[in-house]
Amino acid sequence: MTTLNPLIESKVDVLIIGAGPAGLMCANALASAGVDVRIIDKRAVGVAAGQADGIQPRTIEVLQSYGLAEPLIRIGAHFPRASFWNPGPDGGIVRTQRTPSIFSPTARYPYLITRHQGGIESLFHGSMEAKGLHVQRSTIPTAIQLSQVESELRDPKANPVKVTLKRLDLEEDDIEVVHAKFVLGADGAHSWVRNVLGIKLEGDNTDSIWGVLDVYPETDFPDSRNWTFIHSHNGTLMNIPREGDMMRYYIQLSEDPDFVDPTTRRVNKARANPDRLMETAAKIFQPYSLKMLGEPEWWTIYIIGQRVAQKFSIEDRIFIAGDACHTHSPKAGQGMNASMNDSHNLAWKLAHVLRGWADMSLLKTYESERLKFARDLIDFDRKWSKLFTGKPRTEANEDGISHEEFVGAFQTFSGFSSGVGVRYEASAIVAKQHQACAAKLVVGERMIPHVFVQAADIRAVNIHDAMPSDARFKVLVFVGNVADKAALARVRALAEELDAPKSFVHRYGQGDYHRVFDILCICAGSKDEVDFIDVPQMLRPHWSKWVMLRFLGELGLISLLIARVLLDDTDMHAREGGGGFAAYGIDAKAGAIVVVRPDGYVGMVAPYDRLEDISTYFGGFMVEKSG
Ligand SMILES: Cc1cc2nc3c(=O)[nH]c(=O)nc-3n(C[C@H](O)[C@H](O)[C@H](O)COP(=O)(O)OP(=O)(O)OC[C@H]3O[C@@H](n4cnc5c(N)ncnc54)[C@H](O)[C@@H]3O)c2cc1C
Residues 411, 103: contact at Cβ < 8 Å?
Answer: yes
Specify the pairing of strand 227-232 against strand 81-87: parallel
Residue 580 to residue 523: CA distance in whole angstroms: 10
* Other beta carbons within 10 Å of 434: 17
> 389 pLDDT band (50/70/90 cuts)?
confident
- Give the pLDDT score at 33: 96
Helix (H) or strand (E) segment spanning residue 614: helix 611-619
CB 416 within 8 A of CB 372: no
Whether pLDDT at 396 is above 90: no
Check residues 202 and 399 and name the one with the higher pLDDT.
202
Selecting from 3.30.390.50, 3.40.190.10, 3.40.50.300, 3.50.50.60, what CATH number does the domain 8-69+113-202+306-368 have?
3.50.50.60
Residue 187 CA, ligand 1 centroid: distance in Å: 7
List the residue whose alpha carbon is closest to atom 26 of ligand 1.
322
Mean pLDDT of 470-491: 95
3-state SS class at 36: coil
Q: Can you point out the beta strands (E) in 221-358?
A: 227-232, 235-241, 247-252, 290-309, 313-314, 318-320, 326-327
Q: For the chain, how long is the longest CA-to-CA vector?
A: 84
Burial 445-466 (b: 16+ CB within 10 A, else e): bbbbbbbbbbbbeeeebbbbbb
d(CA 277, CA 260): 13
Instruction: Give per-residue pLDDT as tens, 397-418.
Output: 777 888 888 888 888 888 889 9
Per-residue pLDDT reduced to its tens digit, 354-386: 999 999 999 999 999 999 999 999 988 888 888
Domain covering 435-620, topology: Glutaredoxin (3.40.30)
Mean pLDDT (the chain) is 91
Distance, in Å, from the CA atom of 606 to the CA atom of 590, rounded to the nearest integer, reads 11
Distance of alpha carbon 266 from alpha carbon 279, whole angstroms: 21
What is the number of the ligand 1 atom nearest to the C-alpha of 248? Answer: 8
Confidence of residue 543 (pLDDT cuts 50, 70, 90): very low
Boundaries of every domain in the chain: 8-69+113-202+306-368, 435-620
- Ligand 1 atom with least separation from CA of 140: 42
d(CA 545, CA 550): 9
How many whole angstroms from 307 Cα to the centroid of ligand 1?
Answer: 15
Give the per-residue SS3 of 565-594.
EEECCECCCCCCECCHHHHHCCCCCCCEEE
Does residue 46 contact residue 324 with C-beta atoms inside 8 Å?
no
Instruction: List residues with catalytic annotation.
Output: 53, 242, 250, 330
> In one letter, which amino acid is 79?
F
Q: Which residues line ligand 1 (CB under 6 A)?
A: 17-23, 40-43, 51-52, 117, 140-141, 186-188, 192, 212, 300, 322-323, 330, 333, 335-336, 339
Q: Are 224 and 239 in contact (CB under 8 A)?
A: yes
Return the pLDDT at 205.
72
Q: Which ligand 1 atom sits closest to the C-alpha of 18?
A: 34
Is pLDDT above 80 for 271? no
Distance (Å) from CA 431 to ligand 1 centroid: 35
Return the pLDDT at 393.
78
Global confidence as pTM? 0.94
| Atom 29 of ligand 1: nearest residue by CA position | 20
The backbone torsions φ and ψ at residue 241, rounded to the nearest 5 degrees and listed phi first, read -70, 140
Other residues' Cβ atoms within 10 Å of the Cβ of residue 50:
18
Residue 150 in contact with residue 286, Cβ under 8 Å? no
The per-type count for the chain, helices as H runs and strands as E runs, is 16, 26
For residue 324, the CA-to-ligand 1 centroid distance in Å is 9
What's the gap in Å between 586 CA and the centre of ligand 1?
A: 43
* Best CA proximity match to 274, nearest among 299, 253, 250: 299
Q: Does the structure show a pLDDT above 70 at 300?
A: yes
pLDDT, tens digit (0-9, with 9 covering 90-100), for 70-87: 999 999 999 999 999 999
Q: In this structure, how many other beta carbons lie within 10 angstroms of the beta carbon of residue 542?
A: 12
Sign of CA dihedral 251, 254, 257, 259: positive
Atom index in ligand 1 nearest the CA of residue 336 equals: 20
Separation CA 229–CA 305 (nearest Å): 21
Task: Identify which of 336, 342, 378 to mutate to test ligand 1's pocket (most ligand atoms within 8 A of the CB).
Answer: 336
